[in-house]
């Protein structure tokens, strides 16, 4: 793509989403691209903070220096972990990419598909928790829904837990 991409990465700060982020930064992101971290919060009865303003449309694009600031992110009810922050700060410097975050509230399946169209994204990378067949049938798979309903290419990075 070479600098025109808007690469979305679904992040919930789990090991699974960190693996997807690392994969995206190593394999999909080119110099000059925009990396948009998409974080979905559950709907709720929020009394204060930024989420009241943006619950219907999602937050504005939050620049890296702002979502690295715990005081600012507390307003959104989101606390990015240090591993995620280190990975995107490094990519911003080394690959010369712009990193922003967009927060949505609601059903992750629907909101990720919405993000593809409204940001808009040229590619979305999402982790897969590796649910077994029965759990996937009962709970539904966010990644499966987005692959089948998203309007841009979607890469699913499989997370395999090692039991030792």
142-159 per-position pLDDT tens digit: 888 999 999 999 999 987
pTM of the model: 0.88
Mean pLDDT value of segment 43-49: 60
Return the domain boundaries, the chain. Answer: 6-158
Q: What is the pLDDT of residue 1?
A: 42
Which listed CATH number (3.40.50.620, 3.90.226.10, 3.40.50.2000, 1.10.10.60) goes with 6-158? 3.40.50.620
Question: Is the bond leading into 110 cis (omega within 30 degrees of zero)?
Answer: no
Residue 30 has pLDDT above 90, yes or no: yes
pLDDT band at 45 (very low <50, low <70, confident <90, very high): low
Q: What is the pLDDT of residue 46?
A: 56
Provide the mean pLDDT of the chain: 87
Neighbours of 93 (CB within 10 A): 9
Looking at per-residue pLDDT, the higher value among 14 and 135 belongs to: 14
Q: How many helices (H) does the chain have, and how many strands (E)? A: 8, 6
């Amino acid at each position: 793509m070479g600098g025109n991409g808007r690469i979305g990465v679904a992040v919930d700060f789990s090991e699974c989403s960190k693996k997807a982020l690392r994969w995206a930064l190593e394999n999909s992101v080119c110099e000059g691209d925009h990396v948009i971290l998409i974080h979905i919060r559950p709907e709720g009865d929020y009394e204060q903070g930024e989420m009241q303003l943006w619950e219907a449309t999602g937050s504005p694009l939050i620049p890296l220096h702002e979502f690295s600031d715990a005081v600012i992110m507390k307003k959104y009810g989101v606390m990015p972990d240090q591993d995620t922050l280190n990975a995107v700060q490094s990519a911003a410097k080394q690959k010369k990419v712009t990193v922003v975050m967009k927060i949505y509230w609601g059903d992750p399946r629907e909101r990720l598909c919405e993000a593809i169209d409204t940001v808009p994204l040229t590619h979305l990378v999402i982790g897969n928790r590796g649910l077994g067949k029965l759990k996937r049938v009962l709970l539904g798979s966010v990644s499966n829904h987005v692959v089948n309903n998203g309007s841009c290419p979607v890469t699913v990075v499989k997370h395999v837990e090692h039991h030792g």
